[in-house]
Structure 1
Amino acid sequence: MKRSFLLIILCIGVSNLFAFSNQNDTIIKYSSENEAIQKIKELIELSESYRSKDAEQAVNYGHIAIKISKEIENGELQYRSEFSTGFAYYVQNDFGNALLHLVNSLELSRLINNRQGEASSLNRIGNTYQLMGEYQRALHYYERAMAINRDLQDDQEIARTLTNLGSVYRLHGNYELAINQHLEALGIYEGLQNNEGIAWSALNIARLFKMMKNYDKSIDYVNQSLSIYQKIEEEQVLSTGVTLCYKELGNIYYEMGNTESAIEYSEKVLNRNQKTENQLGVANSLSTLGKINFDAGNYSEAEDFLTKAMELKNSLHDNTEMASIYRYLGKLYLNEGKVAKASKYLNNSLDFALNQNLKEEIKETYLDLSKLYEQTNNNLSALDYFKKYTALKDSLNNQKINELELQYEFDKEQRIREYEELQKDIEQEAKLQKEKILKWSFAGGFVFMIILAYVIFKNYQRKKKTNVLLTKQKNEIAEQRDEIGAQRDFVTKQRDQIASQNTIITDSIEYARRIQSALFPQDKFLRKVLGEYFIYMKPKNIVSGDFYWVAEKGNKIIITVSDCTGHGVPGAFMSMLGIAFLNEIVNKSSKVQANKILDQLRENIMDSLHQEYGTRGSKDGMDMALCIIDKKSLEMQYAGAYNSVLILRNGEIHELKADKMPIGIHAIKMEKGFSNQEFKLENQDMLYLFSDGYLDQFGGENGVKFKQKAFKELLLKISEQPMNEQKEEIEERMKNWQGEYSQLDDMMVMGIRV
C-alpha cells in the first residue's frame, strides 16, 4: 500500500473537512493510510447524521466515503460506505440507487465475511422492496436475513427482522400471521428487557387488532405500549412513542364511533405536536380533528380545524391530505347550503386528487360533486359525475379482487414454504435419531477394540518374561482368553441393548398410553351423562397432547376438549396435569362457572410450571373449550382459550368464539380473565368441541390446510347422522384429505347430541 494517497474528492455542504468548490475537484494528499481511514469514518458518521435532516447531503458524504475507501482498498469501510449511501437514497425514496448501493454492500459483506453486515444489508434491501410494493421480494430478503440472525443467535436483530416480516404480512392482509411475528418479537424484547422494543411491538400488535376490528384487544395493547413510553418519557424530553399511542387511541375510538374519546386523544396529539413545534404534525392533527367533528355534525368546530389545517399546510408547501381537507370543506359547505363555496373546494379537491392519483379521493369527490349538481338541479352534470363515480368504484373493486387473488397466491406460496421447512425439520430429526443409534453401535465396537488391544498388549508383556514363568503364563493366557470371550459377550449384549432401545421405549410409551387412557372418562360413564356422543381421537404419536374430560356437578355437566403444548410424551404429561387440576378445581368449587374454571386452571398451570412474566422460562400451556350444561334448563355456559365450539341446529351453525389467549403464560401480561358466554340449547342440537389438529392438517391436491370452512361444511353434511356414522365420516374425510402427507399434530373431535 502506498504511503501517500492521492484522493480526488467532490465536496458539497457545510463540512470543513474539505475545501469546497462547485466547479473544480479538490486534490488532497494523505500522509498515511490511518489518516485516510479516519476521514472515511468521519464521512460515514456525517452521512448517518444528515440522513434524517438532509438526505441529499447524506448521499454526497456517502459517495465521497466510497471513493476514498476504494482508493485504499479497505473492504470493511467500503461495505459501510456503500450501506450508508444506499440507506440515504432509501430515505430519499430513490429506490433504484438505494438498491444499487445496498446490493454492493451485500456483496462486500460476503467478501469480508461480515455476516452481521450481510444480514443488515438483506434487511434494508427488504425494506426497499417493501416500499416499492414488491412484497414477495421483500419477504425473500427478510427470510434470508432471519436465517443469518438465528444462526448468529443475535436476539436483537431477530426481533427487528420479525418486525419487518410482520409489516409485510400486514400489508398483504394476513393479520394473524403478522400478529404472530410481532408477538415473537415482543417475547424476545421482554427477554432482553428492551423497553422501547416491547412498546413498539405492542403498538404494532394494537394496530393489527384495530384492522381486524378487535377494538378491545387493540386498546389493551396500546395502553401497555403507552405505559412503557410514559416511563421512558419521565427520563427524556417528550417521547414520540407517547404521541403515536395517543394518535392510535384517537383512531380506534374514531372507528368505534366514540367521538368524545376520539376528540380527546386527537387534541392530546395536537398539544404535543405544538409543544415540540412539529408544524407538519400540528397540521395533520388539525385535519384529523376537523374530520372527526364533521362526522359528529359539529360543523362550526370542523370548519375552524379544517381551515387552519389548510392554511398551515399551504404555508409548509405540504400537499399531503390537501385533497381530503378540501373535500371535507366542500361537503361541509354543501351541507350548509353554501353551494358556491362547496363547488370551489370540491373542485380544488379533485385537482389535488387527480395530480396525486389518489383514486379513493377521486372516487369520493366524484360522488360529492354529483350530489352538489343534483342539489342545484344540474342533472346532466350530476349524472356525468355519478357515472364517473360508479366506473371508478367498479375499477377499484376489480383491483381489490386482483389483490385478493395475489394474496391467495402469496399465502399459498407461504404455506408451501412452511410445509417444506417442516419436512426438512422432520427429515433432520430422523437423521439425528439414526446417527444416535449408529453412534451407540460404534461406541460398543470401539469399547470392544480397546479391551482387545489392552489384552493383546498385556499378553505381549507376559511373553517377555522368563521361561520359568512359561507354565504360569500359559495358564494366565488361557484365563485371559476366557476374559476376552466374556468381554466380547458383554459388548455384544450392550450393542443389542442399544439396538432394542426403540422397542423398549415404544413399550414404555404404550404403557403410558394405557395410563393416559385410564384417566379419560370411560364409555359407560359418558353414555350415562351425555347420552348420544362420539369421540374421534387420532394422536400424532402413541400418546396424545389432546384430551377430553367430562364431569357432573349437581344438575350440571362439565365438558372440555383441550390441546396441550406439543404432542407425544411431553403433550401427554401436560394432559395428565390438566386433568388432575380440573378434577381438583371442580371438586373444590361449590358453584361452577366456565370462565372461572379456566382462570383458576391458568393460575395452577403457571404456578406448577414456574411461569413468570418478563422471564424466558417455560411457555407450555394448553388451548381449551369448556362447556357447562344445565341438565334441566339446557342453558349452556362456554369459555374458551383459543378453541371455539360449534352448535348445529336445523342446518345452521352457531359459533361461540374463544378468547385469544392460552391457559398458561402469554407473551403480554393479560389483566383480564377469560370471558363467560351463555347459549340456550335445544333438544336435538349437535354440540362439537375440537382441537386445531384436524383443521391445521395439510393435504388435498395443493397441500394446504383443511381449515375451519371445510370443517363446518363437513359438520353440516353429517350432523343429522347417527353418532358412529358421524365419526366414520370425519375419520374417512381426514384419511382422504391427508393422503401421503405426514400428520402434523394430535387430532380430536367430540360430538354430543343434546
Structure 2
Amino acid sequence: MKILKILIIICFFTSQLQAQYQLLDSLKLVLETTKDDTTKCFLLTRITDMLDPKESEPFNEQLLQLTEKKSIIPGKLQNTFHKYLAVAKNNLALLAQSQGDQQKAMALYNSALKICEDIHNQDILALTYNNMGVLFAEQGNTKQALLCYEKALKIYEHINEKLGVAYSIFYIANVYRNTGDIQNALLNYSKSLKVFEELGDKKTAANTLNNIGAVHAMQGDYTMALEYYTKAFVIQKEIKSGIGMSNSYNNMAFVHNKQGNVEKAIEYLDKSLELRIASGEKKGIALAYLNIGSVYRDKGDTKKALEYFNESLKIREEAGDKHGISQSLNSIGRIYFKQKKYKEALAAYLRSKEISLELGYPENIKKAAQLLNEAYKATNNYTAALENYELYITMRDSINNLDNKKASIRSQLNYEYEKKAAADSVKVAEEKKLTTLQLKQEENQRYFLYIGLGLTIVFGGIMFNRFRITKKQKSIIEEQKFVVEKQKELVEEKQKEILDSIRYAKRIQQSLLPSEKYIERIFKNRG
C-alpha cells in the first residue's frame, strides 16, 4: 500500500509539472522521504534515465550499493533487486563507455547479462543487448553489433514492448547508415521516429532526427540536413538535454561551415564544446575538437587546426573509438598535405584507410581513398592514385546512387505525409467530436423543448381541469346553498307552526283544567 501511495504521488507530479527539471526535483524529493527499498530502486532508475551519464553517476552508485546489499537476501523480492542491480550495471557501463573505458563497460554489460539470464528477466536482457551493440559498433565490430540489436529486437517483440522495439530498430538503422545502406537506414529511422513521437520519447526522437539529418548530409543535401538538425535542436532545448544540444550545435555548425557561414559555425562549435566539457563525455569532446579544427583549417589557420585535430585523435585513441580515429587521421593528413608534408600525410591517410576497411564503413573508406588519390598524385605515384580513385568512385556511388536519392525523397515524403495524416486525423476527429457535440446539444435542446412543451400542455390541462372542477364545485355549492336556505325557511316555518300549535294546545289545556286557586278552595272546603 505504501508503494502504491508513493507511485500515486509520482504520477501526480508527472501530470502537474510540465518542465523536466521540476519532475526531476519532485522525484528526488520523494526519494528522500520514502523508506521502501523497492520504491527507492524505482525512483533511482527513473532519475538516472532523465540525466546525462556524468550527472547520473551518484544516483547509479546509490542504486548499485542498495541492490548489491538487498539482492543477496532470500525472499520474494530477491529477483526484483537483482533486476535493479542489472539496471545499475547497465547505467555504470554507459558511464564508462562515455568516458572511453570500453573494457570496463563490456565487463559490466556481461555481468548484467548473466544476472538477467539467471532470473529470466527479458526486458533488461534486451536493454543490455542493445547497449552492448552500441559498444561493439564503436569498436568497429559491425557484425557483432547487428547481432546484439537483432537479439534485443526479437525479445522486445516477444514481450510486446513497443518502445524497446523502436530503440532496436533505431540502432539497426545506425548500422545501415554507417555501412552505406541508405534505403534501409532511412526506412528504419522513419519507423522508429514514428513510435518515439507516438510515445512522447522526445529525447530519442530528437536523436533520430539528427541521424536522419546526417544521412542527408552524407548525400550532400545540406539544406535538408540543416532542417532536421534544427528540428532536433528545438526538442533538445525544450527538454534541456545538454549532450543532445551539443550534438545538434555540432551538426548545425558542420552544415554552416559547408555553406560558408564560418562565424556561425565557430559560434555553434564553441557552444557544443562547452556543453561537452560540462558533461565530461569524451567522445563528444573529441568530435567538438575535430570540427573546430576543421573550421580553422578552412580559414587557413593550419597551426591552430592541427592542434585541435591532434587533441581529438588523442582522446579517441584513449577511448578506442575506431570510427573517430579514422576521421581524426584524415583531418590531420589534410593539414600535412596542405603543408606539402606528403610523407606524413600518406601515413595518416593509409592508417585511416586500414581502419575504415576494417570497420566496413563506406563513408570513411570513400574519404580516405579520395585523400590518398590526391596524395599519390602529388608524389607522382599514379598507379596507387588510380587504384584509390576507383575505390573512391565505388564508395561514392554506393552512397549517392539514384536508389538512395529516391529513398531519401520517399522517406521525407512518407514522414511528412504521415505527420500530416496524423494531424488531419486529429483535426477530423476533433471536428467530428465538435459536430457530434453540437448535434448532441441540439438534440438535448429539442429534448428539453419537448419536455417543456409537454409539461406546459400537461400543466395547462391540469389547470383547465381544476378550473372546470372548481366551477362545477362552485355551482354545486351554490345549489346546495339555495337548498339549505330553502330548507332553513321551511324548518323555521315548521318550527313556527309547531310553536304556535304548542301555544294553542296549551291554551286549550288551560281552558279545560281547573285553576290552582279553584283546586285549593275545594281542598279547603273538604277539610
- Which bin holds the TM-score, normalised by the shorter protein? 0.5 to 0.7
Cα deviation for residue 42 of structure 1 reads 1.9
User: Relative to 1, partners in 2 of residues 1:79 and 1:201: Cα closer, same or farther, differing over 3 Å?
Assistant: same
Match of 1:414 in 2: 411
Residue identity in the other structure for 2:401: L
Match of 1:91 in 2: 135
Query: Aligned ranges for residues 361-380 of structure 1 at < 5 Å?
Result: 361=368
Please say if 1:386 is aligned against 2:436. no
Cα deviation for residue 447 of structure 1 reads 0.8
Residue deviations 1:382-414 (CA, integer Å, cap 9, x gap): xxx635643652464355345231332123313
Cα deviation for residue 229 of structure 1 reads 4.7
Residue identity in the other structure for 1:446: N
Match of 1:325 in 2: 348
Match of 1:448 in 2: 446
Specify which of 54, 57, 60 is matched with residue 107 of structure 2. 57
2: CA distance, partners of 1:238 / 1:139:
27
Residue identity in the other structure for 1:35: Q
User: Relative to 1, partners in 2 of residues 1:394 and 1:263: Cα closer, same or farther, differing over 3 Å?
Assistant: closer
Match of 2:212 in 1: 165
Match of 1:221 in 2: 268
2: CA distance, partners of 1:164 / 1:188:
14
Match of 1:67 in 2: 117
Match of 1:294 in 2: 336
Residue identity in the other structure for 1:202: Y
Match of 1:107 in 2: 157
Specify which of 108, 111, 123 is matched with residue 79 of structure 1. 123
Kept in 2, the 8 Å contact 1:209–1:217? The answer is yes
Residue identity in the other structure for 2:133: Y
User: Relative to 1, partners in 2 of residues 1:255 and 1:154: Cα closer, same or farther, differing over 3 Å?
Assistant: same
2: CA distance, partners of 1:136 / 1:149:
20
Cα deviation for residue 449 of structure 1 reads 1.5
2: CA distance, partners of 1:219 / 1:63:
43
Match of 1:254 in 2: 297
User: Relative to 1, partners in 2 of residues 1:205 and 1:361: Cα closer, same or farther, differing over 3 Å?
Assistant: closer
Residue identity in the other structure for 2:171: R
Please say if 1:39 is aligned against 2:82. yes
Residue identity in the other structure for 2:150: L
Q: Which is richer in helix?
A: 2
Residue identity in the other structure for 2:83: I
Cα deviation for residue 187 of structure 1 reads 1.7
Specify which of 206, 211, 224 is matched with residue 177 of structure 1. 224
SS of alignment partner, residue 339 of structure 2: coil
Q: Percent identity?
A: 15
User: Relative to 1, partners in 2 of residues 1:298 and 1:194: Cα closer, same or farther, differing over 3 Å?
Assistant: same
Residue deviations 1:503-525 (CA, integer Å, cap 9, x gap): xxxxxxxxxxxxxxxxxxxxxxx
2: CA distance, partners of 1:189 / 1:252:
24
1: CA distance, partners of 2:146 / 2:357:
26
User: Relative to 1, partners in 2 of residues 1:138 and 1:257: Cα closer, same or farther, differing over 3 Å?
Assistant: same
Cα deviation for residue 82 of structure 1 reads 1.6
User: Relative to 1, partners in 2 of residues 1:420 and 1:470: Cα closer, same or farther, differing over 3 Å?
Assistant: farther
User: Relative to 1, partners in 2 of residues 1:429 and 1:445: Cα closer, same or farther, differing over 3 Å?
Assistant: same
Match of 2:28 in 1: none
Residue deviations 1:51-87 (CA, integer Å, cap 9, x gap): 63236534533442342343xxxxxx41121221232
User: Relative to 1, partners in 2 of residues 1:127 and 1:48: Cα closer, same or farther, differing over 3 Å?
Assistant: farther
2: CA distance, partners of 1:291 / 1:44:
42
Cα deviation for residue 248 of structure 1 reads 1.4
2: CA distance, partners of 1:167 / 1:286:
18
Residue identity in the other structure for 2:85: E
2: CA distance, partners of 1:239 / 1:354:
25
Residue identity in the other structure for 1:37: T
Cα deviation for residue 221 of structure 1 reads 1.6
Q: Which is richer in strand?
A: 1
| Bigger-Rg structure (1/2) | 2
2: CA distance, partners of 1:191 / 1:411:
27
Match of 1:556 in 2: none
User: Relative to 1, partners in 2 of residues 1:412 and 1:116: Cα closer, same or farther, differing over 3 Å?
Assistant: closer
SS of alignment partner, residue 77 of structure 2: helix
Kept in 2, the 8 Å contact 1:79–1:108? The answer is no
1: CA distance, partners of 2:449 / 2:115:
67
TM-score, with length taken from structure 2: 0.58
1: CA distance, partners of 2:242 / 2:195:
25
2: CA distance, partners of 1:368 / 1:418:
42
TM-score, with length taken from structure 1: 0.42
User: Relative to 1, partners in 2 of residues 1:81 and 1:34: Cα closer, same or farther, differing over 3 Å?
Assistant: same
Match of 1:397 in 2: 393
Cα deviation for residue 123 of structure 1 reads 3.1
Match of 2:251 in 1: 204
Residue identity in the other structure for 1:95: A
Residue deviations 1:664-712 (CA, integer Å, cap 9, x gap): xxxxxxxxxxxxxxxxxxxxxxxxxxxxxxxxxxxxxxxxxxxxxxxxx
Kept in 1, the 8 Å contact 2:86–2:124? The answer is no
Kept in 1, the 8 Å contact 2:330–2:368? The answer is no
Cα deviation for residue 326 of structure 1 reads 7.5
Q: Structure 2, unaligned stretches of length 5 or more?
A: 1-63, 65-70, 472-527
Kept in 2, the 8 Å contact 1:99–1:128? The answer is no
Q: Structure 1, unaligned stretches of length 5 or more?
A: 1-14, 16-27, 71-76, 307-320, 328-347, 375-384, 474-754
Specify which of 188, 211, 219 is matched with residue 141 of structure 1. 188
Residue deviations 1:405-436 (CA, integer Å, cap 9, x gap): 13321233135415633762457646654654
Kept in 2, the 8 Å contact 1:249–1:262? The answer is yes
Query: What's the RMSD between the two structures over aligned residues?
Result: 4.7
Residue deviations 1:488-543 (CA, integer Å, cap 9, x gap): xxxxxxxxxxxxxxxxxxxxxxxxxxxxxxxxxxxxxxxxxxxxxxxxxxxxxxxx
Cα deviation for residue 29 of structure 1 reads 11
Kept in 2, the 8 Å contact 1:44–1:65? The answer is no
User: Relative to 1, partners in 2 of residues 1:397 and 1:289: Cα closer, same or farther, differing over 3 Å?
Assistant: closer
2: CA distance, partners of 1:174 / 1:188:
22
Residue identity in the other structure for 2:131: F
Number of aligned pairs? 383
SS of alignment partner, residue 223 of structure 1: helix
Q: Bigger shift: 353-362 or 386-395?
A: 353-362
Kept in 2, the 8 Å contact 1:370–1:386? The answer is yes
Cα deviation for residue 45 of structure 1 reads 3.0
Please say if 1:468 is aligned against 2:518. no
Cα deviation for residue 183 of structure 1 reads 1.1
2: CA distance, partners of 1:223 / 1:292:
23
User: Relative to 1, partners in 2 of residues 1:192 and 1:159: Cα closer, same or farther, differing over 3 Å?
Assistant: same
Cα deviation for residue 462 of structure 1 reads 5.9
Residue identity in the other structure for 2:82: K
1: CA distance, partners of 2:463 / 2:390:
106
Kept in 2, the 8 Å contact 1:102–1:124? The answer is no
Match of 1:153 in 2: 200
User: Relative to 1, partners in 2 of residues 1:267 and 1:349: Cα closer, same or farther, differing over 3 Å?
Assistant: closer
2: CA distance, partners of 1:278 / 1:169:
28
